[in-house]
C-alpha cells in the first residue's frame, strides 16, 4: 500500500518574492512546511542569483503549474559590459575581457531593436535543459562541451525590451524584458554584449511578472519566515497563511467563464462530457451553481459540436 502524504488538503496560489541565494525548490519546500500543505509545486525556477516573482501552487492549484510555466515572464536585469563569464552571470568565471567601446542610448537602442519580436536563442551550457537525460549544467561542470547551436537552438519571443538606465562609467545597462516561456535572459544579455562588441554578463536579475501575477502581489520570503516565530500555535499560523492564498482561477483570468448546473457539475467531476449550447472554445473555466454559491470545479474545452470536455478537474464536493 502506498504511503499517504502528510499535510493538509488546501488549494491556492501564493505569490512569493524569492530572495537571492535560495533555489526555487528550497523556498518552495520551506513554505510548504510552514503552510502544512500536502502537495505543492512552483511555476518556473529562478536561479539562486535571481530574485522576484515566483508563484507557488498548493493542492489542486498545482494542476495549473504547467499553464504558469508556459506563460509570459517579465524581468529587470543589469547587463554588465566588458566581460564574458562561464555561466553568463556574476557567479561564473571570467573567460574573456574586452575594452568597452563608446556607447550611448541611441546606439544601444539600435542594437536592442534586433532582439525584439521572434528571435533565435542558444541556451547557456549552465542551464537545467537536458541532453540524453542529463542536465547541461552537470556536463558543463565536467568540462564537456556540446554544439548547442545544433542541439538546443530555439525560437523565443521578446514582447518588450526597454532601456531603464545606462551607467556609462560602470559599463552597465539596466533593461526591462517581457518575454515568452523558454527565454534565457543570460543568453539575451550575452548576445547584446556581442553586438556592442565587448561581451556582457548578467550581474542582476529580478523577475517582475509571471503570467498574470506581478510584483505588488508578491509576499517577501522573510515575512513568511517570521510567521514561524510570531505564531507558536501551528493552527493559528496556518489560518494566517491561508488568507495569503489566491484562488486557483486567478492563474487564468483571461479564460472565458462557463457556468454549469449542479447536474452538469457532477458529470464533469466524474470526467464525463456535457452537451452545451456554448460556441467552440479551446480554454474555459468551469463553475457550478450550487446551493451555497458558484463553485470553481476546473477547466475544459468546448468542441465545434458544442461538447464540453473536462481537462483538469478539482477535488470538489458538490451536494447531491
Instruction: Indicate whether 14 pLDDT > 90.
Output: yes
Q: Is the pLDDT score of 124 beyond 70?
A: no
- pLDDT above 70 covers a percentage of the chain that reads 89
**Which H or E element spans position 206?**
strand 200-210
- Give the CA distances from residue 10 to residues 25, 66, 139, in Å, rounded to whole numbers and listed in that order: 19, 19, 39
pLDDT at 313 over 70: yes
Domain ranges of the chain: 12-70+213-249, 75-202, 255-313
Average pLDDT score over residue span 27-34: 95
Task: Give pLDDT tens digits for 267-282.
Answer: 999 999 999 888 899 9
The whole-number average pLDDT for the span 203-229 is: 96
Distance CA 6, CA 13 (A): 19
- Categorize the per-residue pLDDT at 127 as very low, low, confident or very high, splitting at 50, 70 and 90: very low
Higher local confidence (pLDDT), 136 or 54: 54
Global pTM value: 0.88
Residue range 90-109: average pLDDT? 93
Q: Does the structural domain 255-313 have CATH classification 1.10.10.10?
A: no
Rounded mean pLDDT, 89-106: 92
- Superfamily grouping for domain 75-202: Pseudouridine synthase (3.30.2350.10)
Tell me the per-residue pLDDT of 143-200, one tens digit each, with 9 for 90 and over. 546 444 554 578 899 999 999 999 999 999 999 999 999 899 999 999 999 999 999 9
Helix (H) or strand (E) holding 226: helix 221-230
pLDDT band at 135 (very low <50, low <70, confident <90, very high): very low
Q: CATH classification of 12-70+213-249, choosing from 3.40.50.620, 2.120.10.30, 3.50.50.60, 3.30.2350.10?
A: 3.30.2350.10
Residue range 68-83: mean pLDDT, rounded: 95
Percent of the chain with pLDDT over 90: 70
Cβ neighbours of residue 305 closer than 8 Å, sequence gap 6 or more: none
Q: Does this chain's domain 12-70+213-249 share its CATH topology with 75-202?
A: yes
Q: What is the pLDDT of residues 243-273, one digit of tens each?
A: 999 999 999 999 999 999 999 999 999 999 9
Q: 234-242 and 24-35 helices cross at what angle (nearest 10)?
A: 120
Please report the sign of the dihedral spanned by the C-alpha atoms of residue 250, residue 254, residue 255, residue 260.
positive
Q: Which residue has the higher pLDDT, 127 or 272?
A: 272
Tell me, what's the pLDDT at 57? 95
Q: End-to-end distance of the chain based on CA atoms, in angstroms?
A: 31
SS3 call for 218: coil
Residues assigned a catalytic role: 47
Distance between CA 267 and CA 55 in Å, rounded? Answer: 31
Task: Write the pLDDT tens digit of every residue in 35-62.
Answer: 999 999 888 788 889 999 999 999 999 9
Nearest one of 199, 180, 188 to 121, comparing CA atoms: 188
| The residue to which cell 537525460 is assigned | 133
What pairing do the DSSP bridges indicate for beta strands 281-290 and 257-260? parallel
Give 98-123 as a DSSP string.
-PPPP--HHHHHHHHGGGSEEEEE--
Amino acid at each position: 500500500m502506498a504511503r499517504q502524504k502528510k499535510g493538509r488538503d488546501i488549494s491556492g496560489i501564493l505569490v512569493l518574492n524569492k530572495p537571492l541565494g535560495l533555489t526555487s525548490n528550497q523556498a518552495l519546500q520551506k513554505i510548504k512546511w510552514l503552510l502544512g500543505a500536502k502537495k505543492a509545486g512552483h511555476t518556473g525556477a529562478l536561479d539562486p542569483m535571481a530574485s522576484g516573482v515566483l508563484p507557488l501552487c498548493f493542492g489542486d492549484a498545482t494542476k495549473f503549474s504547467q499553464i504558469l510555466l508556459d506563460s509570459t515572464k517579465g524581468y529587470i536585469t543589469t547587463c554588465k559590459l566588458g566581460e564574458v563569464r562561464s555561466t553568463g552571470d556574476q557567479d561564473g568565471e571570467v573567460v574573456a575581457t574586452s575594452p568597452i567601446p563608446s556607447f550611448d542610448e541611441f546606439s544601444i537602442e539600435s542594437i536592442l531593436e534586433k532582439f525584439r519580436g521572434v528571435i533565435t536563442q542558444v541556451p547557456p551550457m549552465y542551464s537545467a535543459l537536458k541532453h540524453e537525460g542529463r542536465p547541461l549544467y552537470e556536463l558543463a561542470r565536467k568540462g564537456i562541451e556540446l554544439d548547442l547551436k545544433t542541439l538546443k537552438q530555439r525560437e523565443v519571443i521578446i514582447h518588450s525590451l526597454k532601456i531603464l538606465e545606462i551607467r556609462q562609467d560602470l559599463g552597465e545597462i539596466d533593461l526591462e524584458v517581457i518575454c515568452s516561456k523558454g527565454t534565457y535572459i543570460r543568453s539575451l544579455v550575452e548576445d547584446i554584449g556581442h553586438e556592442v562588441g565587448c561581451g556582457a554578463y548578467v550581474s542582476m536579475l529580478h523577475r517582475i511578472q509571471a503570467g498574470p501575477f506581478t510584483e505588488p502581489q508578491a509576499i517577501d520570503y522573510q515575512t513568511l519566515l517570521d510567521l514561524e516565530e510570531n505564531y507558536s500555535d501551528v493552527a493559528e499560523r496556518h489560518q494566517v497563511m491561508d488568507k495569503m492564498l489566491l484562488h486557483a482561477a486567478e492563474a487564468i483570468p483571461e479564460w472565458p467563464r462557463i457556468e454549469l448546473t449542479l447536474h452538469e457539475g457532477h458529470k464533469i467531476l466524474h470526467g464525463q462530457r456535457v452537451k452545451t449550447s456554448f460556441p467552440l472554445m479551446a480554454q474555459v473555466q468551469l463553475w457550478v451553481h450550487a446551493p451555497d454559491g458558484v463553485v470553481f470545479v476546473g477547466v475544459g474545452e468546448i468542441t465545434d459540436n458544442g461538447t464540453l470536455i473536462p481537462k483538469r478537474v478539482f477535488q470538489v464536493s458538490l451536494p447531491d
